[in-house]
Structure 1
Amino acid sequence: MVSGLPSLITPAKLCTACLVGKQHSESIPKRSLWRASQKLELVHADICGPIKPVSNINKRGDEFTSNEFGEFCKANGITRQLTIAYTPQQNGVSERKNRTVMNLVRCMLIEKQVPKAFWPEAVRWCVHVLNRCPTLVVQNRTPEEAWSGIKPTVEYFRVFGCLAHVHVPDQKRIKLDDKSIQCVLLGVSDDSKAYRLFDPVSKKIIVRDVIF
């Protein structure tokens, strides 16, 4: 658009001022270039935290950098690929799933007015449900069926934070005592076919079958 302008193209020379003032990170593809062909061949993992407030079981979150974890991986033939500092894009699969889970957890706690200290319970229930929901990554199966080979049932699903009545065993009450107590549902137990509930009177988590 003008004449007489000297050539500014000097490919062999870098402008330090431009690098300092304009340099940006290269974009990282969202889609992985390699996919695992069998279970546990590739595991994406990330720690979400530290989270405040500290949970009801004193959990906050920490990184996979302890000597103990490193020795465990070495002893079991596990190869680790750590991301570069300040580049969460390199671990996009885990980062996106963490964001999805924490957004759901935040909404669950707000909707039922459950204290924030119970976020681990909300996370556990949220992940349990997501593993039994359709996903674009696994076609025509839920993640649970892809992992176990068994089509899951969801008939036991209940709303997180809802009220439930827990039966008090005969051995723990006398004639005129209440036969049940009202508790808050926090999810299902990992160890037995029962629900995890919070008793607001004793301030304890109990594992029991319930009536809604």
Structure 2
Amino acid sequence: MFYLIHVDLWGPYSTTNFDGNKYFLTIVDDFSRMSWIFLLKHKYDVSMSIQPFLKFFKNQFAKTIKVIQTDNGTEFVNSVCETMFKEMRVIHQRSCPYTPQQNGVVERKHRHLLEVTRALRFQAKIPLQFWGHCMLAASHIINRLPSSVLNFQTPYEKLYGRKPDLSHFRTIGCLCFAKVLPANDKMMARSRTVDHMGYSEIQKGYILFDIATRSFFVRRDDIFREEVFLFSHTDITDSQPVFVDNLQASDFILQNPSH
């Protein structure tokens, strides 16, 4: 576990993500095929993601990564990264020029991530400017899906030694009624309609997007309407969201809600 990791950078994408990112960095553990995604604004931000990753997993798993496999991109082959690898006693193993198959593990992971990201986005009609958030959600899902490479275990199970709990899964892009924090005014709404955009890796909750305020936040105890996709009724290309006229209030009325 964590003897070898495969790392690659994807981008820049022609459409900047909602929060300004144009790249994503993928790290794949060779043993478990568990993957981690980091959204980046700039190509040279790579080292600022790899170093905390190495330190965190040394503390988390009491294991030291010994080899990092990358291609010959300048984001990996530079004085900053080489100094970092040397200080952390990590061997930097690079692919030969024009042989992407030597970094095939992460290349295949990229293809899988992009396929799932497209599927999530198209199903819920999520605007392209949220491709990064869909990518993070795709990674969370893929890490919990059986893989033929792992004898139909999941990467999560291979890494942690237990099956993942899937009870928290909800359809990405679906309508969610998020509880509003307690207020003194008894006449104020107790929930607001938001969009489910993924799963927080640092808090036990869902990543939600409020179209009205154009802001993200994390909540746990929410009510979902997984058959309703809020973005399909909303245009957020302008600075202020515009709702389509044919959307009826009855579309958002709860009928037999369940957690």
The 3 A distance-change label for structure 1 pair 105 and 207 is same
1:56 is matched with 18
2:90 is matched with 78
Matches of residues 113-192 of structure 1 in structure 2 within 5 Å?
113-171=125-183, 174-192=185-203
What amino acid sits opposite 2:21 in the alignment? K
The 3 A distance-change label for structure 1 pair 177 and 161 is same
Q: Is the radius of gyration larger for structure 1 or structure 2? A: 1
Are 1:205 and 2:167 an aligned pair?
A: no
Question: Separation in 2 of the partners of 1:57 and 1:176?
Answer: 34
Q: Normalising to structure 2: TM-score of the pair?
A: 0.63
Of 43, 46, 50, the match for 2:5: 43
2:116 is matched with 104
Identity %: 32
Gaps of 5+ in 1: 1-38
Aligned CA-pair RMSD? 1.6
Which moves more between the two structures, 136-145 or 155-164?
A: 136-145
Instruction: Show CA shifts across 1:59-80 (max 9, x none).
Output: 1123324433222211111111
Question: Separation in 2 of the partners of 1:127 and 1:92?
Answer: 18
Instruction: Show CA shifts across 1:72-127 (max 9, x none).
Output: 21111111122244432221111111011112112211221111121121111111
Question: Separation in 1 of the partners of 2:127 and 2:117?
Answer: 12
Higher relative contact order (CA 8 A, sep 6+): 2
1:35 is matched with none
By how many angstroms is 1:160 displaced?
A: 0.6
Q: Normalising to structure 1: TM-score of the pair?
A: 0.76
Moved over 4 A (4+): none
Question: Separation in 2 of the partners of 1:133 and 1:110?
Answer: 20
Aligned positions, number: 173
Greater share of residues in strand = 2
Question: Separation in 1 of the partners of 2:95 and 2:20?
Answer: 27
Question: Separation in 2 of the partners of 1:146 and 1:133?
Answer: 11
Question: Separation in 2 of the partners of 1:203 and 1:66?
Answer: 38
